[in-house]
Structures are given as structure tokens and as C-alpha cells.
Chains A and B, each alone.
Chain A
Amino acid sequence: MTQSILTDIKKAAKKSLKAREDELANTQTQMEILNGELFADGELPYFKDKIAETGQFPLKPKTLEVLQINVGYMCNQVCGHCHVDAGPDRKEIMTRETMEQCLEVIRNTGAHTLDLTGGAPEMNPDFRWFVEEASKAGIQDFIVRSNLTIILANKKYHDLPQFFKKHNVHVVSSMPHYTRGKTDKQRGDGVFDKSIKALQMLNEVGYGMPNSDLKLDLVYNPSGAFLPADQAAMEHDFKKALKEDFDIDFHNLFAITNLPISRFLDYLIASDNYEDYMYSLVEAYNPTAVENVMCTNTISVSWDGWLYDCDFNQMLDLKVASKVKHIKDYNDDVLSNRDIIISQHCYGCTAGAGSSCQGSVA
């Protein structure tokens, strides 16, 4: 990659693709690329043909376990790999009315995990109200995906660790590497130092400490066009480095593969890595991972209440293939009969040990 392309990407990375009016902000364009000549010419197999080899097409849902709610695309960061194309310029935010509809489902669903994501979910003005109400529903595992830096972004967020503790929220935070250089390159200058400080603040109130019930897990995304290595080995390296260098404790590390959509797709194309990356994903295809891929036990809800098989399908605007498409009409029985919508981006969740919002699956 030439230095000028790198500089262009870095400059552009201060705004979302949508704000830049980049053609890749259009989900149709992304789908055309994912269905493009690399697969159409038979060089690589379509995902549906690949899973058909082991009789796994069409992909069907199992028992619903996780309700993942995206409360808005607004974020204080503009990460280079973000599949949401989130950023400060994104105004899509879940309203309290839609939250009420979600709460109705949370109270009645058999799902044991509620997973709030964004953007930075904390930036939704009704975030705290929603957490307070949702925590009353008695969900077994209540996750908030926090980017860490939000805790330091503004005075009004400084007490988030105490707020999370009060509601026994399970904090899952992104941390691309235990070194400053790699973290800041993916997530922006200064992100590493702020993330470290935020982790220390979470540790101070008891999060992530050995034997603590206050769960603090980290998410590792590769900072570039390569796949994550063995999750357990990465966790070992992260634990050792963060403890030795910053006296930070955390529970588990989830290794998540970057899917070739949105800003990561933009990066892959701009850096001339798209073809190699798709080859890597297809070569690492693991049929065992397909059995446990997260869309089989998850429903993803967008800021405006639409339902998707996963957060990635949400960003590609591929709504569930079901009569029930919106949270206001939610019905477990109808949804459980749907076929899961797949395309070539799905290879990201079936590579190697597999990938989900909870890390490896195989």
C-alpha cells in the first residue's frame, strides 16, 4: 500500500462513509461487491453452495438465546474497521417509543441474554432509562458493548462504571491490541491511553477482578487484513501484557473476525487486500463453526425497530425473511420458522474457530 493511500484513508476516517457520501455507504453497492466476479466467475464458492456441501442450507434458527439491540449508530469514535459505519455524524438513534416495544419483547422472550450495542450505546439520550427498565426484566446476562473511551469522553459519562455496577451490567469492550500503536491505528489517536484509563476505572469498582461477579470481557478485532489467531492464546498474551504494564484485570477475551462490509470493506478495497482477504476467509472455512454461528440463536434489532438475523445483516439492510419484520409485531414462533439470510460476508463468521459477538464458536 502506498503512503498516500494510507494518508487518504486516515483523513477520510474522521467521518463515516455516509457523511462522505461514499458509494460504499450504499448497501446495494456492498452487496454487488460481495456477489461480484470473485464468486460469480466460480473462482471462489458462494457461501450458500459451501454450506450446502454439509447439508446446512438453508440455514435455520435454533432456540433464541440472544436479543441484540442496536440503540443507535452515533459514536464518539470513527474506527477504521467499523461494520456499523458509526461516528459522531450518525444521527440514527433509537427513540423511547421503540425502546418500549423492545422492553415488551425483553419481558416476554425466552432469550437469556440481552446485548446492547451501537455506535456507542451510552450516547443514546434514553440509554440509562432503558438499562434501568431492562434490568428489571430479570434477564440472566445483560451485556452493554462499551467502547471504553466514552467513559472519559465527557464528564456526564464518568460515572458509567458505577452505573453499570448498580445494574449488574456485563461490560464487553473493544481492545484491538495491548500496544498503543496498533490500537490507535485502528481506532484513532489517543484511544489506547483512554481505553487503559477506562479499564482501570472499571477495575476500581470491581469489574473484571478475579472471582468478581461484575463481568468485564474484551473484544479483539484484528487491526488489518488478517484473521484472528487462537482466542485462548490471544487472551493469554493480553492478560499478561495488560497486567504487567497497567495492572489491569479482565475476564475473557473474545476474538472477532472483521467482516468484509462497510468501512472494513472500504479499507480492504482501498488497500488492495479484498481478494486476498476473501481467499483467507474461504480457505479457513470451518463447517463446525456453521453449526454454532450466532445468527442461529440471535435476533438483531435496529435503532428503528427492524429485525435482522445479525448486526452485520442489519448493516447490509437484509431484514429477516419472515412475515414478522419489526419489533412491534415480534413473535418467536413465526420468526423461528424463517430461513436465515446469507451472503459471502458470512464467511467471516465461519473462518477458523468461527466468530460471533461472543468470540469463537468452534
Chain B
Amino acid sequence: MAKSYYDPADLRKFGKITEWSEELGNKFFDYYGKVFEEGALSAREKSLIALAVSHVVKCPYCIDAYTKDGLQRGITKEEMMEAVHAGAAIESGATLVHGVQMMNKYDKLSM
């Protein structure tokens, strides 16, 4: 076994997950491929959304993949960083909005 949990070379092996469950694996990859096709949103816009989400879910494989995908699409580093901030803002907002719950509870418990 590798000594670290993440090996960048494992990303290339992603497709192998179908070997242990062909039906579900194929369904996933078909779905995945379809999602990123040009649609109401451009493939370029979806790439930036994927990059932002990759950071929010803290997936190093996804970050590698969508940084490269963005470079391939000619997406600039400024656009990429703004996308990451958009993800980070939602993530921190999601934490902070719970502050209202804290305030509610605090008020309820306080005389």
C-alpha cells in the first residue's frame, strides 16, 4: 500500500472503478460525460463551476483535473481564482449563516 492517501497517478486509474461494478461505473461515467457537454451552459462555464466545487469538496484529483481542463479551454488564472472565491464564499457563507441558528438558540435560552 502507498504511504499517502493521495497519489496523483491514481487519477488516471479513475476509469477502473467500473471493473468492480461495471453497470454502476458505466452509468456514472455516461452521466458525468453528459453533464459536461455544451448545453444551456457552455462547457467553459461548467468547467469553472467544476473547479469551484472541486475546492469546496477539497478533492485534489478534481483540482488537478479542472485546473488542466481550464488551461486547455484558455480560461485565465484570474477567472479560475474568481471561481475558487465564489466557491469559498458560499462555503464560508454556509458556515456563517448557521450563526443565525446560534443567535436564535442563544436568545431562546437567555432570559
Contact = CB atoms under 8 A, between A and B. Distances in A.
Which of A178, A229, A279, A283 has the largest number of chain B CB atoms within 10 A? A229
A283 B74 CA distance: 20
A178 B75 CA distance: 11
B72 A177 contact: no
A177 B68 contact: no
B76 interface: yes
Given A233-B43, A233-B44, A279-B12, A228 B76 contact: no
Which of B12, B42, B68, B72 has the largest number of chain A CB atoms within 10 A? B72
A82 B105 CA distance: 65
Nearest to B44: A233
Contacts of A230: 43
B71 interface: yes
B71 A177 contact: no
Interface residues of B, number: 10
B41 to A, nearest CB: 13
Q: Secondary structure of the A side of the interface?
A: loop
Interface in B54-110: 68, 71-74, 76
Contact of A228 (B12, B42, B68, B72): B72
Q: How large is the interface on A (under 10, 10 to 19, 20 to 34, 35 or more residues)?
A: 10 to 19
B73 A233 contact: yes
A212 interface: no
Interface of B: 12, 42-44, 68, 71-74, 76
9 nearest A-B residue pairs (beta carbon): A229-B73, A229-B72, A226-B71, A226-B72, A226-B68, A237-B74, A234-B74, A227-B72, A279-B12
Given A177-B74, A222-B72, 17 more contacts: A178-B74, A179-B76, A220-B74, A222-B71, A226-B68, A227-B72, A228-B72, A229-B73, A229-B74, A230-B43, A233-B43, A233-B73, A234-B73, A237-B44, A237-B74, A279-B12, A283-B12
